[in-house]
Chain A
């Protein structure tokens, strides 16, 4: 017997299959609802939403730090067991109920409206800080149109006697990122004021986003032809360029060398699960919206499988490309380290050049150590190990803006590569932003925040302007710290809660039987055993496990953050500081409000239902189907006398 929670009135809230077919055939009858011009646009938009910056800067790091090639195993397993079912579920439910995320969940059950609201909050918070990353990318892009890239050398100090000390102690790329881009303050409490150049970049990022979403999917559908395909072109170019650089293969080998002992570590599985989950942009509400613009008989099962495969492939492909470049950089550093040591030896012992090379360095050093040990000790030679350089695994903004930019400066024709790289990052982020903003705009429309009479251009414009203004937090001196705060807390726990509620809501509230019938109606065959098992048991279980572990980890860890403090002792290593106590309030708002809105909305709706129960029979605000309206009018006119027909048969 299938477990099904009671759900009265569901039939009344949704369109039946016949009505759906009628909607399909009516031309522009569903003119209220936008439609995709063709299937390609839809696929490219979904691919663009799923494939984002995380594929480029999070997956390679996870892969390399969790045993290289061995990480593929948990990643692929969880992709199949968690990613694909969730994706199929969101596509199917959106296509069936033909509403945005808020509409879908309130249709399934009025008490579930909280899930939609939580999705909206999460999408909003992520949109706010994600576009700041876009602003950073644009800043680097604008600065790439110069012959010598500004992060390739340290600037001179004020009286032109030497290099700026902060830059000399760290490195030109670090200095450019922390000082000239972020102008980072040493503490989250000091806000440092607005950095005007970043404000300009933020405005330009929001302006570009606005022009792409100005008319909803009408304009987005055209923009994705470029933003979703360009990253693949650039990745391929980088792959070819990377493979011709010295040391690239050692990077790729290092990335994919399997270390099977890592599979026994639960953190590996946890990280793989989290990566699959976040990579698919599930629970944002954007995917539900996008698939609701499809025709009813679109094959959503096939779409889910294709998009999952593309996402997985892109992660692996991007990791390969990134690691060719990282291998090159590590080899370059190793060569410099060794070259420096060799030079010191030559100079101290006045040996002719070419006597000590990379191949005989160890022997020469040993023999010299035997004859002049004190001198060798006094030289303080650095130990150069290629693997240490390769394992300097960096993720996130550090990978893109520090490590990769440094590698680019060492390549010939650096400005070209820099421009290509940042255009690729920009396109990756922009296509993800389309989905994020969709997850914000559609619920706002459904909630009726904007009057229906306002044109779409103005609603998107106002949303963009407001988000831009709030996003000014992230372009202050302490903006980077705020951003990582939002990233860690706003975008992690609530999504897990929402996804779990989604699965439970569809499978147990909407009814898996009804869902199977719907899918059979839409695509022609019932979903097979794999889908049944994953939807009903496996995926919710995995979600729950990940959620519990994540929650425990986040709650028990001491809240530290890394700061750039030129006055600290270990400069240039980032200084770890504890968050001030008022930050906990902020963290609670970020993580708690979306998460708590699920139960709170349910309680609110329940209370409102109870207290206004008598008016409920005729009030019926959430009924908006044609069928019910016709039925009502019949009721109202049932007792009236017969009326003669007028001349024109009305």
Chain B
């Protein structure tokens, strides 16, 4: 007796297709073909219905979806590339990569990223479905964290920047400012002020030396003058400084 083995995971409608053991053989073969057809139809329906099911998961303003806006011409100008299905495929692959990287698993695939509502602007919505359970969406927060983690890689895959590849709702993390130990202006200031003070000291020292040399020279001249005068002085008066020959001084000598 042919026993219709119904696989355990089969839908209940198939399970109910059990032929009583005492049925004639024509009935049994009919049941078999019917069953096979049903299975095929159901499989076809399933295959057809799954994307439809997925499409219902991805909608504009979906609770777990993000909107992406791409501005290629702004970023690249003359070297802008055309946005087509291949680029979309790359996007989905990059998102799958980001999910893999975040969860540190290798289960994510291109099929897990679902895209909808593409506009001419080049903006679209996407959702991520879990590889284990196709009806379950990955929550928004996790997607955000995954994107933020791999943002740099995603941008580079498309030669775009944070501004031209926008995930609306995910803000780019600000770069850590580079804080040098000494502010650079202090270094320049130190150099300048060091040079200036060195120059000032050099000039002061040189003028001091010059003065000393002059004084020495003058003193020697002064000595000669005084010696000559001392010979002529009768009452030994000490004269200060250099004698001014233009000034008649006779009365000093001849006071009696």
Contacts and interface: CB of A to CB of B under 8 A. Distances in A.
A203 B251 CA distance: 58
B106 interface: no
A201 B204 CA distance: 23
Contacts of B73: 353-354
B185 to A, nearest CB: 4
A505 B231 CA distance: 55
Contacts of B185: 139, 142-143, 145-146, 197
Contact of B120 (A207, A347, A352): A352
Interface string B238-252: 000000010111110
B24 interface: no
B189 A204 contact: yes
Contacts of A38: none
A187 B161 CA distance: 43
A634 to B, nearest CB: 10
A650 interface: yes
B211 A455 contact: yes
A626 to B, nearest CB: 9
Contacts of B72: 353
Contacts of A142: 184-186, 188-189, 192
Contact of A145 (B188, B193, B204): B188
Contacts of B211: 455
Nearest to A150: B185
Given A204-B196, A214-B203, A644-B254, A650 B245 contact: yes
Interface stretch (A106-114, A154-162, A406-414, A544-552): A154-162
Contacts of A650: 245, 248-250
Task: Kindly name the residue among A145, A162, A163 whose own CB sees the greatest number of chain B CB atoms within 10 A.
Answer: A145
Interface string A342-379: 01001100111110000000000000000000000000
A637 B122 CA distance: 111
Contact of B71 (A160, A210, A353): A353
Interface size class on chain A is 35 or more
Task: Kindly name the residue among B184, B185, B211 whose own CB sees the greatest number of chain A CB atoms within 10 A.
Answer: B185
B232 interface: yes
A648 B232 contact: yes
A640 interface: yes
A637 B203 contact: no
B203 A219 contact: yes
B120 to A, nearest CB: 4
B5 to A, nearest CB: 55
Contact of A162 (B71, B174, B177): B174
Interface string B164-176: 0000000000101
B203 A207 contact: no
B69 interface: yes
B71 to A, nearest CB: 6
A643 B251 contact: yes
A352 B251 contact: no
Contacts of A533: none
Interface of B is mostly: helix
Contacts of A215: 203, 207
A350 B245 CA distance: 104
Interface string A182-214: 000000000000000100110110011011001
B232 A647 contact: yes
A211 B199 contact: yes
A353 B203 contact: no
Interface in A409-463: 455, 457
A633 interface: yes
B123 interface: yes
A207 B253 contact: no
B104 interface: no
A645 interface: yes
Contact of A156 (B177, B187, B192, B248): B177
Given A142-B189, A146-B184, A353 B74 contact: yes
B253 A204 contact: no
Nearest to B163: A343
Interface in A611-650: 633, 637, 640, 643-648, 650
A354 B177 CA distance: 35
A353 B107 CA distance: 36
B232 A143 contact: no
Contacts of B188: 141-142, 145
Contacts of A346: 121
A351 B203 contact: no
A377 to B, nearest CB: 21
B119 interface: yes
B53 to A, nearest CB: 27
Task: Kindly name the residue among A138, A142, A210, A350 whose own CB sees the greatest number of chain B CB atoms within 10 A.
Answer: A142
Contacts of A648: 232
Nearest to B171: A162
A204 B192 contact: yes
A350 B232 contact: no
B19 interface: no
Interface in B85-136: 119-123
Nearest to B197: A207
17 contacts: A141-B188, A142-B184, A142-B188, A143-B184, A145-B185, A160-B176, A162-B174, A200-B193, A204-B189, A207-B200, A343-B71, A351-B121, A455-B207, A455-B211, A643-B251, A647-B232, A650-B250
Given A350-B119, A351-B121, 4 more contacts: A156-B174, A160-B174, A350-B121, A352-B122
Q: Which 5 A-B pairs have the closest CB atoms?
A: A142-B185, A643-B250, A353-B73, A350-B119, A352-B120
